[in-house]
Structures are given as structure tokens and as C-alpha cells.
Structure 1
Amino acid sequence: MVRAVDGVDIGVDRGETVCVVGESGCGKTVTAKTVLKLIDMPPGRIVAGSILWQGRDLVPLPPAAMRAIRSKEIGFIFQEPMTSLNPVYTVGDQIAETVRQHEGMSRRAAMDRAAEMLALVNIPNASRRVHDYPHQFSGGMRQRVMIAMALSCNPKMVIADEPTTALDVTIQAQILDLLNEMKQRLGMAVLLITHAMGVVAETAQRVVVMYAGKVVEEAPVGELFARPLHPYTQGLIRSIPRLDLAATEHRRLEAIPGTVPSLLNPPAGCRFAARCRHATPECSAAEPPLREAAPGHKVACIHAEAIAA
């Protein structure tokens, strides 16, 4: 048994963007998919805990009740649109299917809504392009189609699983601007999964840092970049390329030594201890709790204050 996500506790408020950040394999996507129970069960299963949506626990809900919540109340933008969109149906049909399922519209009305949504996400000639297939769109345009599909039923929250990973930086910026514009226009909450600290700085109001299936730090975005308390968070920030250095100043990118521990047999105590420059024997003795080190700033490190000082 692998505990891909272990004791993760994240809250998202109305109109807020929360970024979950961490390297590949830390549990970000499993966390996101578990909210809507999209993990494959079996072999995956929710062993304990609750998923509270507006005071209602989603864990015990049957499949039919979850289908009523997906897209209608919580939208999901998948990481790779080419594997998420059906290649043998037009994009209009795929958006319309979601609308007809939840809004009870006729096919014609649903196709009109699909065209409206494509226009909303700035796809030119939307009324014509609803009849095109996914392979007829570029990567950035396919991602816009995924956003249009996720927003087609005006959900109160959207979960975006690394929506800009395979896109060039110009298209990334356009997609992030579009998500922010839709959030402002519709007043929805956004849970954004990413491994890019630049995306976090540009997008989030609050940041959750995950490592090896656990939350190691949580803080408002400005506080996190100004005063990171966990050694792993500090390592992520130090690994960002610097553009403010003089042209004559050559500096190697800093890397975090070692590798992520296997979740088949996680180490005792702090899971980051083997890679941490500040580790002491106490770090491997017991698992550090996620505690509030400052107002709104939580960290799972027994040396956080000493490291910050």
C-alpha cells in the first residue's frame, strides 16, 4: 500500500486562488482528483478523512450524487487536453454534453452555449469552430477548450491540474490571465496545481507546499516568498533562475541534493530530513506537526524559527 496523500488539509475560500506546489510525485494531482473522487477505485481508495464542500461531506456520496456535483458545482481542468478530449467528437459536442447533463438543455441550445463558452475563452470564430475536432486546435487552444468545458455550467469552484505544463511561456501567460479573468468575472474559487514557482507568484493569494504526500508549509503568497520557513520551500525558491543579476555575474542554479523518498516505505520523522542541510537527529525521531509559526503561516519543521533567523 502506498499513501500517495497523507493527512492533507487544504481550504479554499470563495473568490480565492490557492496554489498547491511541489515537485512531480509529491501528491498534488492525487489531491486534486480525490476532491471529485476521480482516482481509480480500485486500486485507489480514501482510507479516512472527509472532503467538505459547502458543509457537505463528499466521501460517502454515491456515484450519481458525485456526477451531479462534477462540472455543475466544481469544474476540473485536466493537465493534458489531448488525452482528456475525445478525438472522435467535435469540441462543441463535448462541451454540449456537459451542459445537457446538468442544465437539461436541448441539443441546439447546448451547442449555442458551447459556442458562447468558446467565445468567452477568446477562441476566434467560435460559432464555426464548435464543429472542429480536438486535433484541429493548437495546444493552447485545446487548453482553452478545456477551460470552456470546465466553466460551461458556471461552477462555484474550478480545480486546474497544471493547466500550462506543456505550453510555451507566452501561451502560459495567456492561459493564466484567462483563468484569473474568469475568476473575477464569475466570482469562483480556484485550486491551481503546479510545480512552477513563477506561476505561484503570478497567480495565487495563498500557497500550499507539498512534499512526499504531505503539506510542509502554507502561507499567503507574499509571506511565502519573503520569508519561507521550511528548508524544502527555500530550496524551491533558490532553484528559480534569477533575471536581476548582472550580465557578468555567473551563478549556478542551486539544486536540492538527493531524491524524494519512496512512499512504499517512507522514513520515520521528517520526510525531508535526508535532503536537508539543517537536519539534526531530532528530525528523524518524530514527524513534525504542521503548526502555525506566524499568523496565517503554517510550517512542518521543528527548526523553522532558527532557520528563518
Structure 2
Amino acid sequence: MTGQRLLEIQGLKVHFRTDDGWVRAVDGIDIGVDRGETVCIVGESGCGKTVTAKTVLKLIDMPPGKIAAGQVMFEGRDLVPLPSEAMQKIRSKEIGFVFQEPMTSLNPVYTVGHQIAEAVRQHEGLSRRAAMDRAAEMLRLVNIPNPERRVHDYPHQFSGGMRQRVMIGMALSCGPKLLIADEPTTALDVTIQAQILDLLAEMKQRLGMAVLLITHAMGVVAEVAQRVVVMYAGKVVEEAPVGALFATPRHPYTQGLIRSIPRIDRAAISHARLEAIPGTVPSLLNPPVGCRFAARCRHAMPECTAAEPPLREVAPGHKVACILYPEVRS
């Protein structure tokens, strides 16, 4: 790993002030992304995965949010203390970001070509004409037909899938080393989802960039990830290569996620309901002592509520925060 690590999140804590107190949305996590690697952060809504992604580029609202602790190292440089002007240079140029809902991320009163061109001009100093040529080139790269004409169209003139392609083209327009995609297939039908995932894989291969993909869909994880980080209630509970995670999921929460995936072979022989994880996610205003999944876990023991289990390696490259598994001794 030495020399290959592009992004290193260390001990990150992100809290939000509310009328009831501080919500610990992200509460001490470590995540790394190597050059050219695709890492998926997976977990249910509210687990902290989107907050983690936005914190990398300091896109959370501060206040009410604050980075309470930790470092976000990008190419050996900590992004946390950087002023907004320095972060603006890193956004798009070094790290691209694809938001969850393109219709709310694209400005409805400007053409898509104008919006891509402005990002290029800001970071690369191109003329207006050259920047518009780049915008058309990016639309062509993401497989939008008639790009020279469509640069003059407005966001509402594109379908949902095409708008997501525009967002990907915009994020890639300055050749970033890392692309962060937050639920890029949400609200798209299954066929369009597959096209967007194929496009991301193609762009990664062509441009040689790393991808940090945020999702709640285990099917997406299985298709695109090389390594998977599972989050629950603001914590990382498991991390593994994608094959190992699906073959031998260790954490009871991960096992529950995988058991809840619809399967055609099961549907053919049974009309039983999908298996759900019982209980509810604990409040992040006042998280419980010990393992945050303990109240929902079928394997819970008294020790689980006594102290928080550390994230430790239980097999080569496979880490889990659960007392059921002994740590590997090298």
C-alpha cells in the first residue's frame, strides 16, 4: 500500500448541532482509497456515508456541522485546515464529485454547456470558446448524442439518466485523480442504473482515476467495488475486498444486509418475505455504550454493551468491529 494511497481518512468525527444537542453523524472512522481503486461505502440511510463523502471536500454546512476531529489526507496533504479558496482549487481539478440528485445540482437557468465550461475556465483558464469545446467533448465522452448541439440545452431538456451523465461529465472535465459519486443511480430505473455504472467503470479505466462510491444498494457494490467499507450508526463495522465480503461476511450487520438482497432462485421456490434486520438504528444524539448494533444483533452478549469493539484484522485485508472474531496475529 505504501506510496499508492491517494486518500486517507483518519479518525474523522463530524458532528451537527441541533436543538436537542450534538448529533455524532460520523464518529471516528478510518477509510483509505488507493490510486486507481474503486472503494464502496455502503450502509442504510443515516449511517454517515454521505456526510463522510461531503466532508472530504468540505461540502457540509458549517455551522451547524463541524469537523470535530480527524484528518482527510489527499496525496499527503490534510484538507481539513485548508481555507475555502484552497479547497475551491481542489474541487473538480483534483477531486470530482457527482451528487445524488442531478436536477437539484444543475442550475436550471444555465445551459449544461455553460455550467461545464465555467468549471473548466475556473480551474484551467481556457477561453470561453475553448471551454465550450471542452464541454462538448465531455458530453461526447459520457455518450450523449449530438454533443455540439446539446451543450446549448438546459437541464430540464435532459432525461434523468442523461442529467446524471452530464453531472459525471462535469465532474470529469478537469481530469480529477479521484471521483466521489454519492448514490449516482438513485431514482433511476434499473436499465439506466446499469448504464451509469458501466459508464463510471469505463471512465475510471480510460482516465486511470480512483472512485469512492457511496451507496445503500448491495447489488451496486457487487458490480463495481474492489473494496467495501460497511458503515453503521456513524462507525465503520467491516472492511474487506468485495469477494471476501460477499463470500464470508463477518459482522452481523453485514450479514443482515446480504440476507436482505432479493434473489431470483429463492423467489422461485418460496413466497416468503425478504428477511429484515429487526429493531431500529440507535440515536446519534446519545449513542449507546459498546457496539451500536448490539440491540439488533442475534449474537449479542453482555460484553457487547460493555465496551466498543475495535476495528481489527481477522483475515488478510478483512477487518471487522465485532468480538466474535479473534484478531489475526502476524
The normalised TM-score by structure 2 is: 0.91
Residues 223-262 of structure 1: matches in 2 within 5 Å? 223-245=244-266, 247-262=268-283
Contact 1:157 1:190 in 2 (8 A): yes
- Which residue does the alignment assign to 2:167? 146
Select the residue among 127, 132, 143 that pairs with 1:111: 132
Query: What is the SS of the residue equivalent to 1:244?
Result: helix
User: Following the alignment from structure 1 to structure 2, what is the Cα–Cα distance between the partners of residues 230 and 133?
Assistant: 46
Q: Which has the larger displacement, 40-49 or 244-253?
A: 244-253
- Which residue does the alignment assign to 2:7? none
User: Following the alignment from structure 1 to structure 2, what is the Cα–Cα distance between the partners of residues 11 and 40?
Assistant: 24
- Which residue does the alignment assign to 1:20? 41
| Aligned-residue offset at 1:246 | 6.6
* Percent of residue pairs bearing the same amino acid type: 86
- Does residue 280 (structure 1) correspond to residue 301 (structure 2)? The answer is yes
| Aligned-residue offset at 1:245 | 3.1
Deviation digits for residues 152-190 of structure 1 (CA, Å, limit 9, x no counterpart): 000000000000011000000000000000000000000
User: Following the alignment from structure 1 to structure 2, what is the Cα–Cα distance between the partners of residues 82 and 168?
Assistant: 16
Greater than 4 Å deviation, 4+ residue runs: none
- Which residue does the alignment assign to 2:10? none
- Which residue does the alignment assign to 1:222? 243
User: Following the alignment from structure 1 to structure 2, what is the Cα–Cα distance between the partners of residues 56 and 64?
Assistant: 15
Question: CA RMSD for the aligned pairs?
Answer: 0.8
Unaligned runs of 5+ in 2: 1-21
Unaligned runs of 5+ in 1: none
| Aligned-residue offset at 1:3 | 1.1
Residues 161-180 of structure 1: matches in 2 within 5 Å? 161-180=182-201
- Which residue does the alignment assign to 1:39? 60
Contact 1:21 1:207 in 2 (8 A): yes
User: Following the alignment from structure 2 to structure 1, what is the Cα–Cα distance between the partners of residues 266 and 49?
Assistant: 32
Q: Which structure has the higher relative contact order (CA within 8 Å, separation 6+)?
A: 1
Query: What is the SS of the residue equivalent to 1:122?
Result: coil
Deviation digits for residues 73-107 of structure 1 (CA, Å, limit 9, x no counterpart): 00000000011000000000000010000010011
User: Following the alignment from structure 2 to structure 1, what is the Cα–Cα distance between the partners of residues 319 and 132?
Assistant: 46
Deviation digits for residues 60-82 of structure 1 (CA, Å, limit 9, x no counterpart): 11111100100000000000001
User: Following the alignment from structure 2 to structure 1, what is the Cα–Cα distance between the partners of residues 55 and 278?
Assistant: 30
Select the residue among 163, 186, 189 that pairs with 2:207: 186
- Which residue does the alignment assign to 1:293? 314
Select the residue among 50, 65, 79 that pairs with 2:71: 50
- Which residue does the alignment assign to 2:233? 212
- The structure with the largest strand share of the pair is 2
Aligned residues: 305
